[in-house]
Amino acid sequence: MQQAVKQKTSPLWLIALSILLPTSFACLATSATNVAIPHISGYFGSTVDEANWIITSYMIANACLILMTGWLENLMGRKLLLKVFITIFTVGSLICAIAPNLNTMVFGRLIQGIGGGPMTPVSQAILLSVFPPDKKGVAMSLYGLAVMIFAILGPTFGGLIVDNTDWQWIYYINIPVGILSISLVHANIDEIKTRKKVEKTDFVGMIALVLWLLSMQVVLDKGQQYNWFDCAWISWLAGFSVVALAFFIVWELEYKIPLINLRLFKDKNFLIGTILSASVNMLVFSTIVLIPQFLQNLMGYNAILTGYALASRIVSSVIMMLLINRLLKIIDSRILIACGFLFLGISTLFFVNLNLAVSMAYIAIPQLLMGIGIILIFIPVSALALGTLPKSELTNGASLHNLCKSTTMAVVASISSTFVARGAQIHQNYLVHNLSNFSLIFQNKFSSLVHIFSCQSTTFATIKANSFLYKSMLTQSRLLAYVDTFLIFATIAFILIPFSFMLNVKND
């Protein structure tokens, strides 16, 4: 059954503003939190591992709601859906801002994730449905501005906030934006012309989805802390996660009214486009997570300097946003996507030569290249991946597309940190052999440090010299681990270049 809905007309720019304003601030708050983690963990007296739940709890809730967007849209209608979930996101922001302890903060982030989940796929579906076919590139450029540019802006914005005022303002700022967004949605967003009447609710699919994502994220977050599969409960939970995923896939394929239509992956463009989009998110988010860690933990940067170091990516991204529509008219989209992965690979390869004496300019140059690569991939891939789907499946397709991207980000947030931690242990095993009395270099350095610290007792000078050298060895181990991790991601970027030409270009 279908319900017809009366339509009204608003200017395209006003529709775009109404839907993209809350979407952009949801992305901004997410990436800004990465830079603020040291401040938040210090405020609550928690470890960085505990504070990472602030990031991953949002991603879990976000991923769950992303996949439910199509069903929720049919159940509630597009306009009510947007107003309800913008309100939920705003309430979550308020809880985060006034949280008295870490548990409340994590709860607030869960609420934020629930509210922010439907925004991305719904905004993408609205733009593709209201913009005429010859302006789909403009629609995806606007979508990219909201999702990618604001996500990239997050670390710089977060750095400015935490170094000039309280970190809580990262969340306070969402409250007036949320109120304004609800008013704009109410005034300018049309209801979908027809929507299916929901006769049955796929509660089994919902439960399987939540159990899979929740168990997977606990394994990823706690695996390194408990030495992965050497821990019995980690092994059991990992097995449970795999079973929950398998059950979810089988159930959704066989159930008559599934939560999400997984058969959309039969569309070649949708399948390849989703893989490429998820890969871009992986490469971009890995640098958003790892570069601030490197700069703050090893280089001693504060949050605002970290934000400045990443800011050049914003400049090149905005410039490319202005040029991408013209490029799409004269150059094959697949060539642009391939060039984008080439830029991403080269920019990530820059970080393979990191050392503890690099300047901010050395960090900024690859950020410029990365900004170019992001837009060259993101805009054409988004249009090609969803462009071949029927309009009736746009919201479902956008939900599934964004679920894959969101899940990839959650996995990368945990796995990249594990790569660094494990890599540091491996390099430490090799470097520790240099701290030997049989090494002439070590003896000379140790003697000079003892002499420097000898203003106090000889025993104290010897202990301090040993501590200094050991700390230097740990720092070098972690530096080499970052280098290895960036080399892995650079290799992935280069491997993905040929996949760009597997997409079909369809002129509407």
Give the pLDDT means over successive 10-residue stretches in the chain (508 positions): 46 76 78 77 74 76 75 75 87 89 87 83 75 70 72 75 81 86 79 59 80 83 76 88 90 79 82 86 81 82 77 81 82 88 90 84 87 84 76 72 78 78 82 68 68 66 71 83 89 90 70
Taking alpha carbons only, the member of 337, 409, 500, 321 closest to residue 66 is 409
In this structure, which amino acid lies at residue 29? Answer: A
Taking alpha carbons only, the member of 211, 171, 195, 223 closest to residue 416 is 223
pLDDT at residue 154, as a whole number: 75
Q: What is the pLDDT of residues 75-93, one digit of tens each?
A: 777 778 888 888 998 998 8
**From residue 164, how far is each of 154, 157, 161, 306 by CA, in Å?**
15, 11, 5, 14
Q: Of how many residues is the chain composed?
A: 508
Instruction: Tell me the DSSP string of 160-173.
Output: HHHHHS-TTHHHHT
Helix (H, G, I), strand (E, B) or coil at 388: coil
Contacts 24+ apart (CB under 8 A), 210-215: 210/64, 211/240, 211/244, 212/241, 212/244, 212/245, 212/248, 213/60, 213/63, 213/64, 213/407, 213/410, 214/60, 215/240, 215/241, 215/244
Q: Rounded to whole angstroms, how far apart are CA atoms 14 and 373? A: 29
Taking alpha carbons only, the member of 372, 343, 378, 394 closest to residue 140 is 378
Q: Rounded to whole angstroms, how far apart are CA atoms 296 and 282? A: 21
Tell me the two tokens of residue 181. Answer: 């967004």
pLDDT at residue 191, as a whole number: 66
**Which residues lie closer than 8 Å to 301 by C-beta, 6 or more apart?**
295, 309
Which residues partner with 2 through β-bridges? Answer: 196
**Which residues lie closer than 8 Å to 335 by C-beta, 6 or more apart?**
500
CB 192 within 8 A of CB 8: no
CATH for 2-199+257-425+482-502? 1.20.1250.20
394 Cα distance to chain centroid: 22
**Using the 8-state DSSP alphabet, how is residue 436 labeled?**
S
Question: Rounded to 5 degrees, what are φ and ψ at 10?
Answer: -130, 155
